[in-house]
Amino acid sequence: MKKRKTKRFASLTNARINPKGFHPSQIKFYVLLTPLAFIMLLPIVFIFSHAFKPLDELFAYPPKFLVSNPKLQNFIDLFARMGNSGVPVTRYLFNSILITAITVFMTIIVSTTAAFALSKKRFKLKNTLFMVNTVALMFVPIAVSIPRFLIIQNIGLMDTFLVHIVPGLAMPVGLFLLKQFMDQIPDSVIEAAQMDGANDVQIYWKIILPMIKPAIATIAILAFQASWNNADTSSMYISSESLKTFAFYLSTLTSTTSGNTVAGQGLQAASSLIMFLPNIIIFVFLQNQVMNTMSHSGIK
């Protein structure tokens, strides 16, 4: 009888907290969240609007947030400049796609295996290593640019294809999220698999990975954004033009427009939208996984 009352209370509580349809109690949330959602959308709206502004609106004073007379001239000029490039644009695009795909895949492998060891294995300095990873979250990339340059130079990665991939495999935020997510998996599940004769590889592949799919999707998004938008590696570590990325190509294309800073602003607006689109598309499709990861990773 007591269990029935408990279940009934839990069902009623869930119904009030998360009703399937509209409930008057949700009005207060709509009143609070709708203005916030509108504010969050403003940068996205601006990027799209800015890309279609003609030159007179780009330099209008006072500046306009929304475009009044949208035109495709910025994109026409951008593609015309691409056609005059010494190295085919497809080469830069191919490099970016290949580098991003390899980086995302390898980052998932490295982060998940490291998180599995930190979360479910017992060894010395386990907490110390996780603390080092947590401290690394405080450092922005610009703060470690000099040590990173010296390390890359000493291990012989300068002007190689691997310099785009290897430094990006160390993702402290990815390891942190995955480790916190794996902590939610009961140890009894791992112990039961070990009693059935499963080794660490089988546990990792058949038990851990299927249970952390939301976290993997989140790490994939973060790794994709970091790799796809990365133009610094091509400018700092690469001298061969055929090894540079699409992000670097667009950045140099818009900054060296024959000294014409006016036309360069239009190219910059169009290229920003082109680089932004893949990021927003991937996030839209995987946003549910991201929210699930955040709710299970100790980030409130």
pLDDT of residue 215: 87
User: Does the pLDDT of residue 52 top 60, yes or no?
Assistant: yes
pLDDT of residue 263: 60
With contact defined as beta carbons under 8 Å apart, do 237 and 166 qualify?
no
Of 7-11, 120-124, 255-259, highest mean pLDDT: 120-124
More confident residue, 17 or 64: 64
pLDDT of residue 205: 92
Model pLDDT for residues 196-252, shown as the tens digit of each residue: 888 999 999 999 998 888 889 889 999 999 999 998 899 899 998 889 998 888 888
pLDDT of residue 151: 92
CATH homologous superfamily for 86-295?
MetI-like (1.10.3720.10)
Q: How far apart are CA 193 and CA 82, in angstroms?
A: 56
The number of beta carbons lying within 10 Å of the beta carbon of residue 212 is 24
Model pLDDT for residues 285-296, shown as the tens digit of each residue: 877 766 665 555
pLDDT of residue 17: 47
pLDDT of residue 19: 56
Going by C-alpha positions, the residue among 200, 239, 244 that lies closest to residue 87 is 244
Query: Nearest 10 degrees: CA dihedral of 206, 212, 218, 221?
Result: 10
Res. 20 pLDDT band, cuts 50 70 90: low
199: left (phi over 0), alpha (psi -120 to 50) or beta: beta
Place of tokens 């791992």: 190
What is the share, in percent, of the chain residues with pLDDT greater than 70?
84
User: Does the pLDDT of residue 298 top 50, yes or no?
Assistant: no
User: Does the pLDDT of residue 165 top 90, yes or no?
Assistant: yes
Q: How far apart are CA 118 and CA 177, in angstroms?
A: 12
State which amino acid sits at residue 66. Answer: L
Q: How big is the chain, counted in residues?
A: 300
Going by C-alpha positions, the residue among 203, 206, 208 that lies closest to residue 184 is 208
Res. 264 pLDDT band, cuts 50 70 90: confident
